[in-house]
Amino acid sequence: MVSGDGSVRSLALPSASSPGVTPARSSAASASAAVGAAVGAAALAVPALPAPDGRPLHLTTQEDLLALMPIRAYSDREIKRKGDPLEFLKKNVGPGSPARMNQGNPEIASHLISREQCLEGLRGVVLQTEEQRKICGADYMVPVYRKGDIARTKFCIDIFEFPNRPCELPFVWAGPTQARIYCEMQGKRLCAQEEWVQACRGDPEGKEDWLYAYGNELDLTICNTNKPARTYGEPVCDPDSVSSTWKTCHSNTEPAGSFPRCRSRFGVFDQHGNVAEAMVRFDPEEGGLVSQLKGSAFFYVDVARKHNERQKEGSRETYPDHCAHDPRWHVEPMATAWHVNYHLGFRCCKTVKPPADR
Ligand SMILES: [Ca+2]
Protein backbone atom coordinates (compact mmCIF):
# COMPACT_ATOMS: atom_id res chain seq x y z
CA MET A 1 0.00 0.00 0.00
CA VAL A 2 1.36 3.42 -0.92
CA SER A 3 -0.18 6.46 0.72
CA GLY A 4 2.45 9.14 0.93
CA ASP A 5 5.82 9.88 2.39
CA GLY A 6 6.78 7.63 5.25
CA SER A 7 4.06 5.07 4.65
CA VAL A 8 4.91 1.42 4.37
CA ARG A 9 4.03 -0.86 1.53
CA SER A 10 4.43 -4.52 0.94
CA LEU A 11 6.00 -5.35 -2.38
CA ALA A 12 4.78 -8.05 -4.67
CA LEU A 13 7.19 -10.58 -3.30
CA PRO A 14 6.58 -13.70 -1.27
CA SER A 15 5.84 -13.09 2.36
CA ALA A 16 7.18 -15.02 5.33
CA SER A 17 3.97 -17.00 5.48
CA SER A 18 4.53 -18.73 2.17
CA PRO A 19 2.47 -21.63 0.85
CA GLY A 20 3.54 -25.07 1.92
CA VAL A 21 3.87 -24.34 5.62
CA THR A 22 1.72 -26.72 7.58
CA PRO A 23 0.56 -26.56 11.20
CA ALA A 24 2.97 -27.55 13.94
CA ARG A 25 3.01 -31.22 14.72
CA SER A 26 6.15 -32.02 16.70
CA SER A 27 6.10 -32.42 20.43
CA ALA A 28 8.51 -31.67 23.24
CA ALA A 29 9.26 -35.36 23.51
CA SER A 30 10.90 -35.36 20.12
CA ALA A 31 12.77 -32.11 20.55
CA SER A 32 16.51 -31.87 20.36
CA ALA A 33 17.67 -32.17 23.95
CA ALA A 34 20.15 -29.36 23.54
CA VAL A 35 17.71 -26.88 22.10
CA GLY A 36 14.95 -27.90 24.46
CA ALA A 37 17.31 -27.34 27.35
CA ALA A 38 18.35 -24.03 25.85
CA VAL A 39 14.98 -22.46 26.32
CA GLY A 40 13.76 -24.45 29.27
CA ALA A 41 10.25 -24.45 27.87
CA ALA A 42 7.83 -26.89 26.34
CA ALA A 43 9.15 -27.16 22.81
CA LEU A 44 6.87 -26.67 19.86
CA ALA A 45 7.91 -26.67 16.23
CA VAL A 46 7.23 -23.16 15.05
CA PRO A 47 7.07 -23.09 12.11
CA ALA A 48 6.63 -26.70 11.05
CA LEU A 49 8.34 -28.26 8.08
CA PRO A 50 6.89 -27.46 4.67
CA ALA A 51 5.17 -30.24 2.80
CA PRO A 52 6.81 -31.62 -0.36
CA ASP A 53 5.32 -29.82 -3.36
CA GLY A 54 6.92 -31.32 -6.44
CA ARG A 55 9.37 -28.52 -7.21
CA PRO A 56 12.77 -29.69 -8.49
CA LEU A 57 15.44 -29.62 -5.80
CA HIS A 58 17.76 -27.40 -7.82
CA LEU A 59 15.60 -24.41 -8.69
CA THR A 60 15.97 -23.11 -12.21
CA THR A 61 13.47 -20.27 -12.44
CA GLN A 62 13.74 -16.77 -11.04
CA GLU A 63 10.25 -17.10 -9.63
CA ASP A 64 11.14 -20.20 -7.62
CA LEU A 65 14.36 -18.66 -6.32
CA LEU A 66 12.63 -15.43 -5.27
CA ALA A 67 9.87 -17.41 -3.58
CA LEU A 68 12.44 -18.46 -0.98
CA MET A 69 13.32 -14.86 -0.16
CA PRO A 70 10.58 -13.01 1.72
CA ILE A 71 11.46 -9.36 2.23
CA ARG A 72 10.33 -6.81 4.76
CA ALA A 73 8.07 -3.86 4.07
CA TYR A 74 9.72 -0.72 2.67
CA SER A 75 8.58 2.86 3.10
CA ASP A 76 8.31 5.13 0.08
CA ARG A 77 11.07 7.27 1.51
CA GLU A 78 13.33 4.25 1.81
CA ILE A 79 12.60 3.14 -1.73
CA LYS A 80 13.41 6.63 -2.99
CA ARG A 81 16.70 6.60 -1.11
CA LYS A 82 17.83 3.01 -1.69
CA GLY A 83 15.99 2.01 -4.83
CA ASP A 84 13.22 -0.49 -5.35
CA PRO A 85 14.17 -3.80 -3.73
CA LEU A 86 12.04 -5.72 -6.18
CA GLU A 87 14.01 -4.31 -9.10
CA PHE A 88 17.26 -5.12 -7.32
CA LEU A 89 16.19 -8.71 -6.79
CA LYS A 90 15.05 -9.16 -10.37
CA LYS A 91 18.41 -7.95 -11.57
CA ASN A 92 20.58 -9.88 -9.14
CA VAL A 93 18.81 -13.18 -8.44
CA GLY A 94 18.19 -15.69 -11.17
CA PRO A 95 19.32 -18.92 -12.79
CA GLY A 96 21.79 -19.59 -15.56
CA SER A 97 24.67 -17.25 -14.83
CA PRO A 98 27.36 -16.57 -12.24
CA ALA A 99 26.39 -12.89 -12.49
CA ARG A 100 23.31 -13.63 -10.41
CA MET A 101 22.73 -15.32 -7.10
CA ASN A 102 21.34 -18.83 -7.57
CA GLN A 103 22.03 -22.40 -6.51
CA GLY A 104 24.93 -23.02 -8.89
CA ASN A 105 25.13 -24.53 -12.35
CA PRO A 106 22.50 -27.30 -12.38
CA GLU A 107 24.10 -28.94 -15.43
CA ILE A 108 27.11 -30.09 -13.43
CA ALA A 109 26.02 -29.97 -9.77
CA SER A 110 25.73 -33.28 -7.94
CA HIS A 111 23.11 -33.49 -5.18
CA LEU A 112 22.75 -36.87 -3.48
CA ILE A 113 19.92 -36.14 -1.06
CA SER A 114 16.42 -35.24 -2.21
CA ARG A 115 14.25 -32.59 -0.59
CA GLU A 116 11.88 -35.36 0.53
CA GLN A 117 14.70 -37.37 2.15
CA CYS A 118 15.90 -34.25 3.91
CA LEU A 119 12.41 -33.45 5.20
CA GLU A 120 12.04 -37.01 6.43
CA GLY A 121 15.34 -36.68 8.32
CA LEU A 122 14.10 -33.54 10.08
CA ARG A 123 10.70 -34.95 10.95
CA GLY A 124 10.16 -34.72 14.68
CA VAL A 125 13.08 -32.35 15.16
CA VAL A 126 12.14 -29.05 16.75
CA LEU A 127 13.90 -26.47 14.64
CA GLN A 128 12.62 -23.47 16.56
CA THR A 129 10.61 -23.28 19.76
CA GLU A 130 7.87 -20.77 20.48
CA GLU A 131 10.15 -18.94 22.86
CA GLN A 132 12.93 -18.76 20.27
CA ARG A 133 10.41 -17.50 17.71
CA LYS A 134 9.23 -14.86 20.15
CA ILE A 135 12.73 -13.64 20.99
CA CYS A 136 13.96 -13.56 17.38
CA GLY A 137 10.76 -12.35 15.75
CA ALA A 138 11.44 -14.41 12.64
CA ASP A 139 11.12 -17.96 11.43
CA TYR A 140 14.00 -20.40 11.66
CA MET A 141 16.20 -18.23 13.87
CA VAL A 142 17.59 -19.04 17.31
CA PRO A 143 18.88 -16.76 20.04
CA VAL A 144 22.56 -17.06 20.95
CA TYR A 145 23.85 -15.93 24.32
CA ARG A 146 26.66 -16.33 26.80
CA LYS A 147 26.96 -17.97 30.22
CA GLY A 148 23.79 -19.99 29.87
CA ASP A 149 21.67 -16.89 30.36
CA ILE A 150 19.03 -16.44 27.67
CA ALA A 151 18.14 -13.07 29.21
CA ARG A 152 21.51 -11.85 27.85
CA THR A 153 20.53 -12.58 24.26
CA LYS A 154 21.75 -9.82 21.95
CA PHE A 155 21.35 -11.50 18.60
CA CYS A 156 19.69 -14.35 16.76
CA ILE A 157 21.12 -16.35 13.89
CA ASP A 158 19.52 -18.16 10.97
CA ILE A 159 19.60 -21.87 11.59
CA PHE A 160 20.22 -22.62 7.90
CA GLU A 161 22.47 -21.10 5.27
CA PHE A 162 20.72 -18.44 3.17
CA PRO A 163 17.90 -18.47 2.18
CA ASN A 164 17.32 -20.14 5.55
CA ARG A 165 14.72 -22.61 4.41
CA PRO A 166 14.75 -26.22 5.59
CA CYS A 167 15.70 -28.70 2.88
CA GLU A 168 16.35 -26.10 0.18
CA LEU A 169 19.76 -25.80 -1.45
CA PRO A 170 21.83 -22.84 -0.23
CA PHE A 171 22.39 -19.92 -2.57
CA VAL A 172 25.84 -19.21 -4.01
CA TRP A 173 27.36 -16.62 -6.35
CA ALA A 174 26.66 -13.65 -4.06
CA GLY A 175 29.53 -11.54 -2.76
CA PRO A 176 29.63 -10.27 0.84
CA THR A 177 28.44 -6.81 -0.20
CA GLN A 178 25.35 -8.26 -1.85
CA ALA A 179 24.87 -10.76 0.95
CA ARG A 180 24.62 -7.85 3.34
CA ILE A 181 21.89 -6.29 1.20
CA TYR A 182 19.91 -9.53 1.01
CA CYS A 183 20.02 -9.91 4.80
CA GLU A 184 18.93 -6.30 5.27
CA MET A 185 16.01 -6.89 2.93
CA GLN A 186 14.75 -9.39 5.49
CA GLY A 187 15.20 -7.07 8.44
CA LYS A 188 18.41 -8.84 9.38
CA ARG A 189 22.10 -8.27 8.79
CA LEU A 190 25.06 -10.32 7.68
CA CYS A 191 26.50 -12.21 10.65
CA ALA A 192 29.70 -11.01 12.29
CA GLN A 193 32.47 -13.52 12.76
CA GLU A 194 32.22 -13.42 16.56
CA GLU A 195 28.53 -14.23 16.39
CA TRP A 196 29.00 -17.06 13.94
CA VAL A 197 31.74 -18.58 16.12
CA GLN A 198 29.68 -18.35 19.27
CA ALA A 199 26.70 -19.99 17.59
CA CYS A 200 29.01 -22.77 16.43
CA ARG A 201 31.05 -23.62 19.51
CA GLY A 202 28.94 -22.29 22.37
CA ASP A 203 26.49 -24.03 24.66
CA PRO A 204 23.05 -22.71 25.63
CA GLU A 205 23.53 -23.99 29.15
CA GLY A 206 26.88 -22.28 29.51
CA LYS A 207 28.93 -25.46 29.37
CA GLU A 208 32.40 -25.42 27.85
CA ASP A 209 32.94 -24.52 24.23
CA TRP A 210 33.51 -27.29 21.71
CA LEU A 211 35.97 -27.17 18.87
CA TYR A 212 33.35 -28.11 16.31
CA ALA A 213 29.61 -27.57 16.31
CA TYR A 214 29.12 -31.31 16.93
CA GLY A 215 31.96 -32.05 19.37
CA ASN A 216 35.70 -31.91 19.84
CA GLU A 217 36.85 -34.46 17.26
CA LEU A 218 36.94 -33.75 13.56
CA ASP A 219 34.52 -36.08 11.76
CA LEU A 220 34.12 -35.54 8.03
CA THR A 221 31.00 -37.69 7.82
CA ILE A 222 28.80 -35.63 10.15
CA CYS A 223 28.41 -32.69 7.78
CA ASN A 224 28.44 -32.26 4.01
CA THR A 225 32.22 -32.16 3.93
CA ASN A 226 32.90 -35.54 2.41
CA LYS A 227 32.46 -35.16 -1.34
CA PRO A 228 35.91 -35.36 -2.95
CA ALA A 229 36.24 -33.27 -6.11
CA ARG A 230 37.72 -36.22 -8.01
CA THR A 231 34.60 -38.30 -7.34
CA TYR A 232 31.98 -35.62 -7.87
CA GLY A 233 33.89 -33.36 -10.20
CA GLU A 234 33.77 -34.18 -13.92
CA PRO A 235 34.73 -32.01 -15.70
CA VAL A 236 37.64 -30.92 -13.53
CA CYS A 237 37.05 -27.54 -11.93
CA ASP A 238 38.91 -24.73 -13.68
CA PRO A 239 38.66 -21.63 -11.46
CA ASP A 240 40.73 -19.46 -13.81
CA SER A 241 37.87 -17.02 -14.47
CA VAL A 242 34.29 -16.53 -13.38
CA SER A 243 33.14 -17.95 -16.70
CA SER A 244 35.30 -21.09 -16.50
CA THR A 245 34.31 -21.56 -12.85
CA TRP A 246 30.63 -21.48 -13.75
CA LYS A 247 31.13 -23.96 -16.57
CA THR A 248 33.33 -26.46 -14.74
CA CYS A 249 33.10 -26.08 -10.95
CA HIS A 250 30.42 -28.09 -9.25
CA SER A 251 28.15 -26.67 -6.56
CA ASN A 252 27.77 -30.06 -4.91
CA THR A 253 25.60 -28.83 -2.10
CA GLU A 254 22.88 -30.74 -0.28
CA PRO A 255 19.55 -29.45 1.04
CA ALA A 256 20.01 -27.37 4.20
CA GLY A 257 19.51 -29.61 7.21
CA SER A 258 20.20 -32.88 5.36
CA PHE A 259 22.75 -33.79 8.01
CA PRO A 260 20.79 -33.72 11.29
CA ARG A 261 23.94 -34.23 13.40
CA CYS A 262 25.62 -31.28 11.71
CA ARG A 263 23.99 -28.93 14.17
CA SER A 264 25.44 -26.80 16.93
CA ARG A 265 24.13 -26.96 20.46
CA PHE A 266 22.34 -23.66 19.86
CA GLY A 267 20.51 -25.36 16.99
CA VAL A 268 22.39 -24.04 13.93
CA PHE A 269 22.90 -26.36 10.94
CA ASP A 270 25.72 -26.74 8.44
CA GLN A 271 28.30 -24.37 9.91
CA HIS A 272 30.77 -27.00 8.77
CA GLY A 273 30.41 -27.97 5.15
CA ASN A 274 27.80 -27.49 2.45
CA VAL A 275 28.80 -23.91 1.50
CA ALA A 276 31.54 -21.79 3.04
CA GLU A 277 30.01 -18.63 4.45
CA ALA A 278 30.59 -14.91 4.03
CA MET A 279 30.40 -12.71 7.11
CA VAL A 280 31.81 -9.44 8.39
CA ARG A 281 34.75 -8.78 10.69
CA PHE A 282 35.91 -5.57 12.29
CA ASP A 283 39.58 -5.02 11.57
CA PRO A 284 41.10 -1.60 12.40
CA GLU A 285 44.26 -2.50 10.50
CA GLU A 286 42.24 -3.12 7.36
CA GLY A 287 40.31 0.10 7.75
CA GLY A 288 37.19 -1.05 9.59
CA LEU A 289 34.53 -3.49 8.51
CA VAL A 290 35.85 -6.14 6.15
CA SER A 291 34.56 -9.30 4.57
CA GLN A 292 35.40 -12.55 6.27
CA LEU A 293 35.02 -15.83 4.41
CA LYS A 294 34.95 -18.78 6.71
CA GLY A 295 33.99 -22.39 7.16
CA SER A 296 34.34 -25.32 4.84
CA ALA A 297 32.44 -26.52 1.79
CA PHE A 298 31.31 -29.91 0.45
CA PHE A 299 34.82 -30.77 -0.83
CA TYR A 300 36.53 -30.12 2.49
CA VAL A 301 37.71 -33.75 2.72
CA ASP A 302 40.27 -32.85 0.03
CA VAL A 303 41.85 -30.07 2.07
CA ALA A 304 41.10 -31.08 5.66
CA ARG A 305 43.44 -31.12 8.58
CA LYS A 306 42.85 -31.20 12.33
CA HIS A 307 43.01 -27.98 14.30
CA ASN A 308 46.29 -28.98 15.93
CA GLU A 309 48.01 -30.36 12.82
CA ARG A 310 50.49 -28.43 10.74
CA GLN A 311 50.54 -27.99 7.02
CA LYS A 312 52.74 -30.73 5.55
CA GLU A 313 55.60 -29.31 3.54
CA GLY A 314 55.38 -29.90 -0.16
CA SER A 315 51.83 -31.21 -0.12
CA ARG A 316 48.55 -29.61 -1.15
CA GLU A 317 47.42 -26.73 1.03
CA THR A 318 45.12 -27.82 3.82
CA TYR A 319 43.29 -25.90 6.53
CA PRO A 320 41.49 -26.62 9.80
CA ASP A 321 37.75 -26.15 10.15
CA HIS A 322 37.11 -25.76 13.87
CA CYS A 323 34.54 -23.08 14.74
CA ALA A 324 37.17 -20.52 15.72
CA HIS A 325 39.42 -20.97 12.68
CA ASP A 326 40.13 -17.47 11.47
CA PRO A 327 41.26 -17.51 7.84
CA ARG A 328 42.11 -14.49 5.75
CA TRP A 329 40.69 -15.40 2.37
CA HIS A 330 39.78 -12.55 0.02
CA VAL A 331 39.63 -9.89 2.72
CA GLU A 332 38.04 -6.75 1.27
CA PRO A 333 36.39 -3.60 2.66
CA MET A 334 32.70 -4.40 2.98
CA ALA A 335 31.70 -1.62 0.58
CA THR A 336 33.58 -3.35 -2.23
CA ALA A 337 33.61 -6.99 -1.18
CA TRP A 338 32.56 -8.54 -4.44
CA HIS A 339 34.25 -11.93 -4.24
CA VAL A 340 31.84 -14.62 -5.45
CA ASN A 341 32.23 -18.34 -5.87
CA TYR A 342 30.48 -21.60 -6.62
CA HIS A 343 30.93 -22.86 -3.05
CA LEU A 344 30.41 -19.62 -1.11
CA GLY A 345 27.13 -18.69 0.55
CA PHE A 346 26.22 -16.73 3.67
CA ARG A 347 24.01 -16.60 6.74
CA CYS A 348 22.02 -13.79 8.31
CA CYS A 349 21.87 -12.64 11.93
CA LYS A 350 19.62 -10.15 13.68
CA THR A 351 20.13 -7.83 16.61
CA VAL A 352 17.43 -8.30 19.26
CA LYS A 353 16.65 -6.77 22.58
CA PRO A 354 17.47 -9.05 25.50
CA PRO A 355 14.27 -10.68 26.80
CA ALA A 356 14.68 -8.78 30.06
CA ASP A 357 14.42 -5.44 28.21
CA ARG A 358 11.29 -6.19 26.23
CA1 LIG B 1 28.21 -23.91 5.76
The SS3 call for residue 131 is helix
How many angstroms is it from 254 CA to the middle of ligand 1? 11
Angle at 65 between CA 59 and CA 70, to 5 degrees: 145
d(CA 242, CA 101): 13
Burial 85-121 (b: 16+ CB within 10 A, else e): bbebbeeebbbeebebbbbbbbebbebebebeebbeb
The SS3 call for residue 78 is helix
What is the pLDDT at residue 53?
87
How many angstroms is it from 143 CA to the middle of ligand 1? 18
User: DSSP H helical segments within the chain, as ranges?
Assistant: 33-39, 62-66, 76-82, 85-92, 115-122, 130-136, 176-185, 193-201, 242-248
How many angstroms is it from 107 CA to the middle of ligand 1? 22
How many angstroms is it from 5 CA to the middle of ligand 1? 41
* Intra-chain end-to-end CA distance of the chain, in Å: 29
Residue 6 zone, left/alpha/beta (φ > 0; ψ -120 to 50; rest): left
How many angstroms is it from 272 CA to the middle of ligand 1? 5
Domains of the chain by residue range? 26-46+59-352
How many angstroms is it from 2 CA to the middle of ligand 1? 39
The SS3 call for residue 283 is strand
Burial 212-242 (b: 16+ CB within 10 A, else e): bbbeeebebebbbbbbebeebbeeebeeeee
How many angstroms is it from 289 CA to the middle of ligand 1? 22
User: DSSP H helical segments within 108-263, as ranges?
Assistant: 115-122, 130-136, 176-185, 193-201, 242-248
What is the pLDDT at residue 2?
30
Indicate the length of the chain as a whole number.
358
What is the pLDDT at residue 16?
35
How many angstroms is it from 328 CA to the middle of ligand 1? 17
CB-neighbour burial class of residue 324 (10 A; exposed 0-12, middle 13-18, buried 19+)? middle
How many angstroms is it from 275 CA to the middle of ligand 1? 4
How many angstroms is it from 299 CA to the middle of ligand 1? 12
How many angstroms is it from 230 CA to the middle of ligand 1? 21
What is the pLDDT at residue 48?
81
d(CA 211, CA 202): 9
Q: What is the pTM of this model?
A: 0.87
CB-neighbour burial class of residue 260 (10 A; exposed 0-12, middle 13-18, buried 19+)? middle
The SS3 call for residue 157 is strand
What is the pLDDT at residue 40?
36
How many angstroms is it from 276 CA to the middle of ligand 1? 5
Q: What type of residue is 3? A: S
Q: In the chain, what is the greatest distance between 2 CA atoms, to the nearest angstrom?
A: 66
The SS3 call for residue 79 is helix
Give bridge partners of residue 344 from the DSSP assignment.
276
What is the pLDDT at residue 12?
42
Per-residue pLDDT of the chain (358 residues; tens, 9 = 90+): 333 333 333 344 433 333 322 223 233 333 333 333 333 333 444 788 888 888 999 999 999 999 999 999 999 999 999 899 999 999 999 999 999 999 999 999 999 999 999 999 999 999 999 999 999 999 999 999 999 999 999 999 999 999 999 999 999 999 999 999 999 999 999 999 999 999 999 999 999 999 999 999 999 999 999 999 888 877 899 999 999 999 999 999 999 999 999 999 999 999 999 999 999 999 998 889 999 999 999 999 999 999 999 998 888 899 999 999 999 999 999 999 999 999 999 999 999 987 777 7
